[in-house]
Amino acid sequence: MGRRRYAVNTEKSGEIIVTVQGDLTQQEKRAVFLTVHDLGCNHASFEEFVNSACMIEIKERSCFIHIDVPGHADNAPNLAENFQFPSLQLLGEELVTVLDFLHVKYVIGLGEGAGANVLARFGLAHPSRLLGLILINVTGSAASVMDAFKTKFISWKGNELGQSAEDFLLYHKFGYQLVGDNPDKEKIVAEFQSRLHSSLNNKNLKQYVKAFMNRKELPLKNCKVDLLMITGVMSPYAGVVEKLYKDLNKEKVTLLKVERAGDVLADAPAKVAQSILLFCKGQGLLTSVAMPGVDRNRAFSTSSGGSTDGTPGSRRLSRGMSMEDYDKPNIRRLSVTINEQLPPIKNSYCNRETISIHIGQAGIQLGNATWELYCLEHGIDRDGKMAESANEPDNVAAADGNSFCGTFFKRSESDRYVPRAILVDTEPTVVDQVRTGPYRELFHPDSLITGQEDSANNFARGHFHIGKQLIEGTMDVIRRTAEESNSLQGFFTFHSFGGGTGSGFSSLLAQKLADSFGKKSKLEVAIYPSPHICTSVVEPYNSVLTTHASMDNADCTFLVDNQAIYDICHNKLRVDRPLYANLNRLISQVVSSITASLRFGGALNVDMNEFQTNLVPYPRIHFPLASFSPVVSVEKANHATLTISDLTSQLFEPDNQMVKCDLRSGKYMACCLLYRGDIVPKDVNAAIAAIKNRRTVQFVDWCPTGFKVGINPKCPVMVPGGDLAPIHRGVSMLASNTAIAEAWRKLDHKFDMMYAKRAFVHWFVNEGMEEAMFAEARENLAALEMDYQEAASEMEEDLPKVDSEDAEEF
């Protein structure tokens, strides 16, 4: 097939470079396609698709005219300083100049993203030159998920492509699934990135992006030609495309929704090729190309406006008929259907909602700090309204509902953002502080649930007595919140091990959640009893009992203890007498890092399910420890070293760990590093390599890779006036380490000392708990200790060894 390039001068859009595949002198016997590329691409994206194996037969019987928008040819120079980059509307209108230059009468439009928008405008302006339109991820509204990124791109400084701009283009092109079922996807993404930095002129690309951001409403319902709309269910534009489709004439429009695909050209090229062929056959083209898996209905339908009496409107289209042998508007449509039933469209990743449940005093006070930080990060005021200063794209909720903060916030009809959170306590004191506090207008009143009696630091009272009075009402609120979600991902539960409500009611609720939402992820952030600071004498009882009762109902429990956080605040932040507010704000930074990939876009994000997949080698061993870096006080902000190597190294130091146990004495089974801000993957790999060479950081032999890395471009946000200094990068570590057995052993020892004397047991029995549960719980914790010991010893002998040099990073 021949390939030629032309430079076509237009009246208002300047010079357009055109690449032609195929012999246009044979256009009367071939299907002619006109393609326009998306942001971050040029003609090469469609040329590669046309050259793929699934397009061989179509390519042999077709011609392709690939458009490069101004300044987007390979290695193009900068556009002239006085050049006014055309709007999408003007680009679409002037495509007719290209057809006239090439002496092409009719084409089928094939465009992706911004290019689909351009071709749609061409179809509206020159319907007589189109046989049909194939639009991939077309955006019809001037307000879509893309507009959330407008400010960042308009303020794009200089000619170089920044990290945030690159991350956005990756998300725009591929959705959230950068590596999926397609084994070549990683290579495709790498090639896309390489082309961004090598062959594409970034200064000219910026002009195309701005033109797309400033696009006007697309009145696609006025289009007179047949449309095939294609989207992937993992594309960020899936919801936009489906919404647009609902408003169109279904007799002239077909919607193809491809499962497990973000970039359909990369993830499902064969399915796209099949749909293109079906569409062309419906227009009487490519009828000689075989189509496997198709039920061909040979009956032709009469087009609208046609007659059955020999007038042009009733004429039958026969095979081999050239374009000049019939009047284009009277083409007959061939009815064909694919045997495979495609699933309905699903919401994109950023709309996979998560419900947070805050239980007891510790859980609710930690929740206050966490939601305070979430609001700051998303630019949401205390009353739930988006702050006027919130112009970062990650902060803005798009009109189509595909906003990242939608995972944790629900947008109300009054344009307020309401947390998907439930706050529960057996007595009203702490919840009343929320009801009357600075964030009193933020939470939905129904999500603040209280009883009338305190649990009195008694597991049995919170689980059996008071808990039973609250559990049904709490589950009703949780079910209603879940029903308001389009695609519920799971639950985050915040509580303490030592309190009566935090231990007793949380374990009861965990059982109910497991019964009602068995397949949803259930993660916990738990305040572990401190070795030296004790808020209740029966804390060991409560901790052992709640661990036993919820062992099988939590997928992953992230542990922190107040003593470790207190020491960090005192020694590193120089807070003389840390309050719970100081401790909770520090813990909330770890929580924010855990959830950042669920709330903000990024090229190397971590899904909620990945935590349990990568941190829990065995269902019972699901207690990762947390660490955060850097912990920098305001006074030391100007003197701190924040290289990626230093940040990573600090995570493994005892004074940055949030649980008091010596991780150096144990072995790591898995380690998840969650980076945020200005992070370069190459530097991360170097930092991890240095960590692996440390003798103090040892992994069990049966763990083949060790590290799971997440990188999110959103910088950490610090509470104004708080203890922590603002930073431009940070990292949290979640580690499964056998050393946690030491913490369990100390807790069990305290339990044994009291239970040997049966001290305080009667308080638990009087609340409806059987005394045998003490023995069962202690036996379960002893088994947990053994599980960790076996993980470090026996499993190494049973499982095959893996050479560390052959191991790869996640």
Q: Walk along the chain (810 residues) in steps of 10 and give the mean pLDDT of each run.
A: 87 94 88 96 94 92 96 93 93 95 94 96 94 92 49 53 77 68 73 88 91 88 91 85 85 86 88 91 82 40 35 35 39 34 36 90 97 94 83 40 71 93 96 95 96 94 94 96 90 96 97 92 92 81 96 94 92 91 94 89 66 85 94 84 90 92 89 91 91 85 76 91 91 94 92 95 95 96 92 52 35
Cα–Cα distance between 387 and 165 in angstroms, integer?
23
* DSSP designation for 504: I
Q: Report whether 711 contacts 679 (CB < 8 A).
A: yes
Residue type, 633: S
Is beta strand 668-677 parallel, antiparallel or unpaired with respect to 253-258? unpaired
Cα–Cα distance between 626 and 767 in angstroms, integer?
34
Cα–Cα distance between 409 and 417 in angstroms, integer?
6
pLDDT, tens digit, for every residue of 683-705?
999 999 899 888 888 888 877 56
Residue type, 662: D
Cα–Cα distance between 545 and 503 in angstroms, integer?
8
Helices 772-792 & 740-755 angle (0-180, nearest 10): 160
pLDDT, tens digit, for every residue of 187-227?
888 888 888 888 899 999 999 988 988 888 899 988 889 99
Q: Report whether 472 contacts 501 (CB < 8 A).
A: no
Q: Would you state the structure tokens that stand for residue 657, as one six-digit string?
A: 């760990």
Greatest Cα-to-Cα distance within the chain, rounded to the nearest angstrom: 103
Burial class (CB in 10 A: 0-12, 13-18, 19+), 628: buried
Q: Which of 610, 785, 796, 809 is catalytic?
A: 610
Q: Report whether 202 contacts 160 (CB < 8 A).
A: yes
Please give the C-alpha separations between residue 553 and each of 103, 617, 743, 785, 804, in angstroms, as whole numbers.
Answer: 69, 16, 21, 19, 34
Residue type, 530: S
The closest of 231, 303, 280 to 132, measured between CA atoms, is 280
Q: Residue 473's Cα: distance from chain center in Å?
A: 32
Cα–Cα distance between 671 and 709 in angstroms, integer?
8
Q: What are phi and psi of 733, to 5 degrees?
A: -120, 135
Cα–Cα distance between 247 and 420 in angstroms, integer?
31
pTM: 0.59
Q: Report whether 691 contacts 804 (CB < 8 A).
A: no
Q: Determine whether 47 is an active site residue.
A: no
Strand order in the sheet with 31-36: 3-9, 15-21, 62-68, 31-36, 107-112, 130-136, 227-232, 253-258
Q: Report whether 173 contacts 209 (CB < 8 A).
A: no
Cα–Cα distance between 544 and 541 in angstroms, integer?
5
Identify the sign of the CA torsion 129, 133, 137, 142: positive
